[in-house]
Amino acid sequence: MKTWLTETFNIKYPIIMAPMFLVTSIDMLVEASKAGIMGCIPALNWRTPEEFEEGLKELKERCEGPFGINIIVNQSNIHMHKQIELCAQYAPDFIITSLGNPKEVIEKCRPKGTKIICDVVDLKYAQKVQDQGADAVIAVNSGAGGHAGPTPASILVPLLKKNLNIPVISAGGIATGSGLFSIMALGCEGVSIGSPFIATKESIVSDAYKEAVVQYGAKDIVMSNKISGTPCTVINTPYVQKIGTEQNVIEKAMSKNKKLKKYAKMLTGYKGMKAVENAAFGATYKTVWVAGPSIEFITKIETVKEIVDRIVSEFETSVDEFLAKRS
């Protein structure tokens, strides 16, 4: 496959291993490189800027291919400015910005040779980041895990393709080769895949989390407003059912107050992410597991390479089947 993504980053397949909070690890990025794709890891997976800097050094040393860093670009990320400074210093191959204004990232990191790719959920914001100098956008559709967008890929991708002059990558709902084929047919330059990689042997999350991804399906995914202050998809475990998915009265009141909104988001984010962290690594009944509906197609725990090879093989089969129907 030849696309902007494969040509720009010299990778074999146009696939990004999506950055997943507390899930994506350096080992997973190393294996992604070996499998012919490239991975991205959240800067917030390191607790302090000092630890993040050590992580950047290790990534530079161990990754055979390109790697990326995901930065949350809003005030809830108290280390944002330092993370940007470190990325400008160590120049990862690409940065994915999320949930805010990428201006500082573009101004400080793009001159260092880092490609800036921005998560977007609608045309208005996509046009804004294009005007600011983004190299590409990731169209986060309604099938995404974590912070999903409101619009299906079948609508969002063609809309962005029609109105933008920069490449469009799709995020959300891809776990099979036929899914990859359908998305690429819309004109994408590549895809970002997350949830399937939770259930990998290289993933550092608990076995219970991995098994949940295998055992639950699309019907078990719900949208929660209690995790990060931004709507987030989680598996509808008994604990999630118990606590509900909507903010309580006090949280809602704070979120609507202009002066308190920032602090409300930070408080909700801290509490929610702490719950996600505890559930990801420990044995706890408070199971808050982030995932997307593509877990419907995850039937076993595999290696990163096995997932990539399977998706690519299924993609090639889909291409052959399509061409056979044309003849």
Residue 316 in domain: no
Q: Are 131 and 190 within one domain?
A: yes
> Residue 125 pLDDT > 50, yes or no?
yes
Those residues with Cβ within 8 angstroms of residue 61's Cβ, 6 or more apart along the chain or in another chain: none
Average pLDDT of the chain, as a whole number: 89
Alpha-carbon gap, residue 299 to 135, rounded angstroms: 36
pTM of this structure: 0.88
Better pLDDT: 263 or 126: 126
Q: Are 174 and 119 within one domain?
A: yes
Q: Are 281 and 230 within one domain?
A: yes
Those residues with Cβ within 8 angstroms of residue 66's Cβ, 6 or more apart along the chain or in another chain: 9, 10, 11, 33, 38, 93, 94
Q: Are 255 and 211 within one domain?
A: yes
Q: What is the DSSP letter of 301?
A: -
Quote the number of domains for the chain: 2
Burial 280-319 (b: 16+ CB within 10 A, else e): beeeeeebbbbbbbbbbbbeebbebbebbeebbebbeebe
Last residue of a domain, one of 162, 178, 204: 204
Residue 312 in domain: no
| pLDDT tier, 243 (very low <50, low <70, confident <90, very high otherwise) | confident
Those residues with Cβ within 8 angstroms of residue 122's Cβ, 6 or more apart along the chain or in another chain: 149, 150, 151, 156
Q: Are 144 and 200 within one domain?
A: yes
Residue 322 in domain: no
Q: Are 121 and 217 within one domain?
A: no
Better pLDDT: 250 or 126: 126
* Joined tokens for residue 240: 């999630």
What is the secondary structure of 209-227 as a DSSP string?
Answer: HHHHHHH--GGGEEEESSS
CB contact at 8 A, 108 and 134: no
pLDDT value of position 209: 93
- pLDDT tens digits along 75-114: 889 999 999 999 999 999 999 999 999 999 999 999 999 9
Q: Are 257 and 169 within one domain?
A: no
pLDDT value of position 286: 60
pLDDT value of position 132: 98
Q: Are 101 and 188 within one domain?
A: yes
What amino acid occupies position 13? Y
Residue 318 in domain: no
Q: What is the span of the domain harbouring residue 216? A: 207-293
In three-state secondary structure terms, 67 is: strand
* Element housing 108 (H / E): helix 103-109
Mean pLDDT (whole number) for 10-30: 97
pLDDT value of position 180: 98
pLDDT value of position 66: 98
Mean pLDDT is lowest, of 60-69, 110-119, 278-287, 315-324, for 278-287
Last residue of a domain, one of 204, 222, 237: 204
- pLDDT tens digits along 178-230: 999 999 999 999 999 999 999 999 999 999 999 999 999 999 999 887 665 66
In three-state secondary structure terms, 113 is: coil
CB contact at 8 A, 28 and 202: yes
pLDDT value of position 250: 41
pLDDT value of position 255: 47
- pLDDT tens digits along 129-180: 999 999 999 999 999 998 899 999 999 999 999 999 999 999 999 999 999 9
Q: Are 138 and 262 within one domain?
A: no
Q: Are 117 and 179 within one domain?
A: yes
Q: What is the DSSP letter of 110?
A: G
* Joined tokens for residue 82: 């330092």
CATH of the domain at 156: 3.20.20.70
Q: How far apart are the first and last CA of the chain?
A: 22
